[in-house]
Amino acid sequence: MNPKLHILLIEDNPRDVRLIQEMLGNGRMDCSGDKPAFHLICSNRLLAGLKRLDEEPVDLILLDLSLPDSHGFDTFRAVQKQAAHLPIIVLSGLDDESQAVLAVREGAQDYLVKGYVDSNLLTRSIRYAIERKRAEEKIKASLQEKELLLKEIHHRVKNNLQVISSLLHLQSYHIKDPKTLEMFKESQDRVRSMALVHEKLYRSPDLAKIDFAQYIKSLTHGLYRSYRIDPKQIELKSKVEDVFLSIDMAVPCGLIVNELVSNSLKHGFPPQWEGKGRIGIVLRRKGDDQVELIVKDNGIGMKEDADDPDHGALGLRLVHILAEDQLQGKIVVDRKKGTTIKISFKAHSLSRI
């Protein structure tokens, strides 16, 4: 036996109320054939309807948008706000396709014009609306479950990378050679930069994107602490537009920033260098489909062959690999007044907040 469906009708026109009562009562029986399939609850005001929603459970709402105490889609939004879990069918006297489209976009399950509704159309629309809403709720629950699983994966990846970083740190205590020790420290920073991506995704409301401004702030703070740099001596400024990066862009960009900022902190400002150090990081749009990442400093400048993609330092060779292979971008080095490295790449994985 199918359960009786409880329907709240919010309609102020008594004639329309009677017609709908007749449509839902005329021969509309459940599968047993001895009970009406619908139980209609009527309210002639928006506030009265909202009160009825608090007082008794219903399965669906039939809603007229023009009421004495509310008008238009403000009526719909007020009902939806209180009963987002319920399917809503708009019953309107206005035969307007644009209004119907807007109603569906707002979240209505259907838009019926009063002058064209008969008993079969109304009951079929009610059945379909309830089934669609149930299907939507199942999909939403499934997506929420998948999001929780993805968050757990990012959390575990972050934890595993942190374990690797900790192991490198512990192993470094047994290293006496300064160059080898520096290599371990650089590897630890690289692992930490990747772990930070997964931590940001774990905490992000959107698992597909990372707030890169916050990421840079956390990353550079860790680098300053790692190299024991006084921010008053070497000032860091970042200017990141209101953009998010997907994980496939965030990881190489994060590693690039890690390498370039580390290089500036280690080599850009030697003890004999005079003046206040400055490091700048910029991520901005350039045209419709390009993004530009800039890391610059006002230090002593880079040697001519230091950024050679084949024979330069490991960190800068890594920057070339990440920029050209991972981001499919172009890299330009400017040695005037310190060092400025610009990387341009496609913005296909970039979107606004």
Q: What is the pLDDT of residues 304-328, one digit of tens each?
A: 655 555 545 666 888 888 889 888 8
Q: Which CATH superfamily is 226-353 part of?
A: Histidine kinase-like ATPase, C-terminal domain (3.30.565.10)
pLDDT of amino acid 347: 67
pLDDT of amino acid 68: 92
Fold match between domain 5-117 and domain 226-353: no
pLDDT at position 54 over 50: yes
Given pLDDT bands bounded at 50, 70 and 90, which one contains residue 31?
Answer: very low
- Given a contact cutoff of 8 angstroms between Cβ atoms, the answer to whether 227 and 185 are in contact is no
pLDDT of amino acid 1: 45
Amino acid present at 249:
M
pLDDT of amino acid 10: 94
For residues 10 and 12, give the distance between their C-alpha atoms in angstroms, rounded to a whole number. Answer: 7
**In the predicted model, what is the mean pLDDT of residues 161-176?**
84
- CA nearest neighbour of 86 among 51, 104, 60: 60
Q: What are the structural domain ranges in the chain? A: 5-117, 226-353
pLDDT at position 6 over 70: yes
Min mean pLDDT across 8-17, 78-87, 114-123, 221-230 is at 221-230
pLDDT of amino acid 172: 84
- CA nearest neighbour of 343 among 294, 307, 306: 294
Residue 261 CA from chain centroid, whole number: 28
Question: What would the pLDDT profile of 68-124 be if each residue is shown by its tens digit?
Answer: 999 889 999 999 999 988 999 999 988 888 999 999 899 999 999 998 988 889 989
Question: What would the pLDDT profile of 117-166 be if each residue is shown by its tens digit?
Answer: 888 899 899 989 988 888 888 887 777 777 677 777 777 877 887 888 88
For residues 150 and 144, give the distance between their C-alpha atoms in angstroms, rounded to a whole number. Answer: 10
pLDDT at position 29 over 50: no
- Given a contact cutoff of 8 angstroms between Cβ atoms, the answer to whether 158 and 195 are in contact is yes
pLDDT at position 243 over 80: no
pLDDT at position 231 over 90: no
For residues 333 and 314, give the distance between their C-alpha atoms in angstroms, rounded to a whole number. Answer: 16
pLDDT higher at 20 or 212? 20
pLDDT of amino acid 32: 46
pLDDT, the chain, mean: 83
pLDDT of amino acid 352: 42
pLDDT of amino acid 200: 75
Its CATH class, for the domain covering 5-117, is alpha beta
Min mean pLDDT across 25-29, 163-167, 230-234, 303-307 is at 25-29
pLDDT of amino acid 163: 85
pLDDT at position 279 over 50: yes
**In the predicted model, what is the mean pLDDT of residues 166-189?**
84
Strands 234-240 and 243-245 turn out to be unpaired
pLDDT of amino acid 300: 86
pLDDT higher at 245 or 60? 60
For residues 36 and 4, give the distance between their C-alpha atoms in angstroms, rounded to a whole number. Answer: 7
**In the predicted model, what is the mean pLDDT of residues 170-181?**
85
